[in-house]
Amino acid sequence: MVPSLIYYKDTHEFYDKHYEEIEELRAELEEQGIEINIPSHSDLKNFFAWLSFEERARELYDDLEMSR
Q: Where does residue 33 fall: left (phi above 0), alpha (psi -120 to 50 degrees), or beta otherwise?
A: left
Per-residue confidence (pLDDT) for residue 2, from 0 to 100: 82
**What are the pLDDT tens digits along the chain (68 aa)?**
688 899 999 999 999 999 999 999 999 999 999 999 999 999 999 999 999 999 999 999 999 999 88
CA pair distance 37, 28, nearest whole angstrom: 15
CA pair distance 25, 59, nearest whole angstrom: 12
pTM of the entire predicted model: 0.86
Per-residue confidence (pLDDT) for residue 26, from 0 to 100: 95
Per-residue confidence (pLDDT) for residue 1, from 0 to 100: 67
